[in-house]
Amino acid sequence: MKVVVAGTGYVGLVTGVCLADKGHDVTCIDMNTKKIDTLKKGKSPIYEPNLEKLIVKNYKAGNLNYSSDYKKEYQYADIIIIAVGTPEKADGSANLDYVYEVAKQIAENLKKDCIIVIKSTVPIGTNDAIEKYIRENLKNDVNIEVVSNPEFLSQGTAVRDTMEASRIIVGVKSKKARDIMQKLYKKFDSPILFMDRKSSEMVKYASNDFLALKISYINDIANLCEVVGANIDDVTKGMGYDKRIGYEYLRPGCGYGGSCFPKDTKSLHYLATQGGYSLKSIEATIAINKRQKIILIEKAKKELKNFNNMKVAILGLAFKPGTDDLRDAPSIDNIEILLEEGADIKVYDPKAMDKFKQEYNYKVEYASTAKEALKDADVCFIFTEWDEIKNIKPNEYKELMKKPIVYDGRNIYNPNDMKRCRVKYYSIGRGK
C-alpha cells in the first residue's frame, strides 16, 4: 500500500519506518527541508534506539522515502497518516493547528479515494471534526474517511513498541475502512481492537493518564513513607506481588516529563472542565507531579540553606534514559532554580547535551563524562538513570567530590552502600 506520513517527529518517523519495514511503500513528509536532507543521508534527527538502522535499511531498499512536496505526495496515496504535534496551549488544551493545516493540504490536493488516519493525540471528537472539515474543502470528487489510530509509544523503546505493540487501537465508521486498516497492519503480530472513533480517542488519553496517575500515586506514597519512617522499596515490592497492581510504573522518583504525560493529563483535564465535569484524579496527578519535580531542591534546602557560589553537578538532563527529549524534564525546573540562587552548575548527559545547548541559553558548564561533572562538586543532583551514571560506584562520589552530598531523584543507589562510603545521600521515600 502507498502510505504517506505527515510529520517526522517521534510518532511520525517511527510509524513510517516500521510500516516500511513491513513492506509498505512509505513516504514521510516534513516541511523542514534540513530534516528531510538529514533523513536522506541515513541519519535520524532524534535519538531513538534501533531507529537509524531501520532508516538506512528501508531507504536503501527503496520502500522508504522522504519529501517536502506534500502537493505531489498526497495526490494518490492509499492512506495518509497525520502524525504532527498537538502541543499544549497555555490553558492546557491541545493545539490542533498543525492537524488542521495538514487536513487543509490533503483536501486541496487529494485526487483519489483515501483513508485519512489520525495518529496524533487529539481531543475526543477531533476525528469527526477533521472528517467534516476535509469533506467541506475537497477540491476533487473523491471519497475519504477519517480513522482514529492513536499511538502508544514510549520514548526509548518506540521501535519495539511499534513492532511488538501490546494492542493496535482503530476507530472506524465503515467496513471498508476497517478492511483497509486490517490490511495495513496485516504483518504486525499484535491484537487489533476496532471500535468507534470517540472511544479510540479516549483510549489514548485514558491509558496515558492512568500511567501518569500511577506514577504520581507512588510518588505521593513515597513522600509519606519518609514522614512515617517506612521504606518505599519494600512497599512497592509488597504491592507488586499483587497481579492486579503489578510492578510497572511503581518506581518513585522526581516526577514524570516528556511529550505525552504532562500534555495529555492537562488536555483531558481541560476537556472535562469544558464539559462541566471535574476529573479529581487527574487534577491530583498534575498537582503531585508539579511538586515532585522540585522535591530534591526542597530536600536540599533543608540541609544546605542556599546554593550561592556552590558547585553543583547535574547528572542527567533528558526526562528518561534512552532519549534526548527534554520536554518537561525535571532537570530543567531544577537548573532554573539553582541558577536563580547563584549556583555554579556543571551538567552531563550522554545524549541530551547538544539539544540542551540548542534549546536553553543557560550559563552552565558541560562535562564530557559523568565523573568529570562530579570533580570538586559541593553537591550532586541525579535526574536521569542512564547506565553510565548508574555505574558510578559509591566510593567514587567520595573521591571525586569536594563535599560528597548526593540527591538522587531516581533511587539508583542503596542508601547503606552510600553510608558506608561516607556519602551524604538523599533519595525518594527511603529517608537519609
Can you say whether residue 7 is alpha, beta or left, with left for phi > 0 and alpha for psi between -120 and 50 degrees?
left
21 and 60 in contact (C-beta within 8 Å)? Answer: no
In CATH, what class is 203-291?
mainly alpha
Phi and psi, residue 400, nearest 5°: -90, -35
Query: pLDDT tens digits for 79-107?
Result: 999 999 999 999 999 999 999 999 999 99
Radius of gyration of the chain (CA): 23
The reply to whether 293-426 shares the fold of 2-195 is yes
pLDDT tens column, 222-277 = 999 999 999 999 999 999 999 999 999 999 999 999 989 999 999 999 999 999 99
CATH number among 3.30.9.30, 3.40.190.10, 3.40.50.720, 3.10.20.340, domain 293-426? 3.40.50.720
18 catalytic, yes or no? no
**Cell digits for 119?**
495518529
pTM above 0.75, yes or no: yes
| Long-range Cβ pairs for the range 134-138 (8 Å, 24+) | 134/103, 134/106, 134/107, 135/107, 136/107, 137/103, 137/104, 137/107, 137/108, 138/107, 138/110
Nearest to 381 by CA among 328, 329, 324, 323: 329
Q: What does the buried/exposed string (b/e) look like for 135-149 if buried means 16 or more CB atoms within 10 Å of the residue's CB?
A: eeeeeeeeebbbbbb
Over 60: is that where the pLDDT of 18 sits? yes
Confidence grade of residue 432 (pLDDT, cut at 50, 70, 90): low
* Residues ≥6 apart with Cβ < 8 Å to 323: 46, 47, 48, 155, 156, 258, 351, 352
Residue 65 CA: distances (Å) to CA of 21, 25, 57, 109, 136: 12, 8, 12, 19, 30
DSSP-assigned letter for residue 302: H
Q: Where are the domains of the chain?
A: 2-195, 203-291, 293-426
CA distance 417 to 23: 51
CA 377, distance to chain mean position in Å, is 31
Q: For 293, which DSSP code?
A: T
Quick check: 337 and 312 in contact, CB under 8 A?
no
pLDDT of residue 113: 97
Using the predicted structure, report yes or no on whether residue 295 has a pLDDT greater than 70: yes
Catalytic residue among 18, 254, 260, 380: 260
| The domain over range 2-195 is classified in CATH as 3.30.1120.130 | no
- Is the separation of the CB atoms in 195 and 169 below 8 Å? yes
Angle at 66 between CA 64 and CA 70, to 5 degrees: 125
Residues 186-214 pLDDT 10s: 999 999 999 999 999 999 999 999 999 99
Question: Which helix (DSSP H) or strand (DSSP E) does residue 265 occupy?
Answer: helix 261-274
Q: CA neighbours within 13 Å on the CB side: how many for 367?
A: 22
Using DSSP's 3-state secondary structure scheme, residue 384 falls into coil
Give residue 422's pLDDT: 96
- 323-344 pLDDT, tens digit per residue, is 999 999 999 999 999 999 999 9
Q: 305: pLDDT confidence band, cut at 50, 70 and 90?
A: confident
Q: What is the pLDDT of residues 271-293, one digit of tens each?
A: 999 999 999 999 999 999 999 99
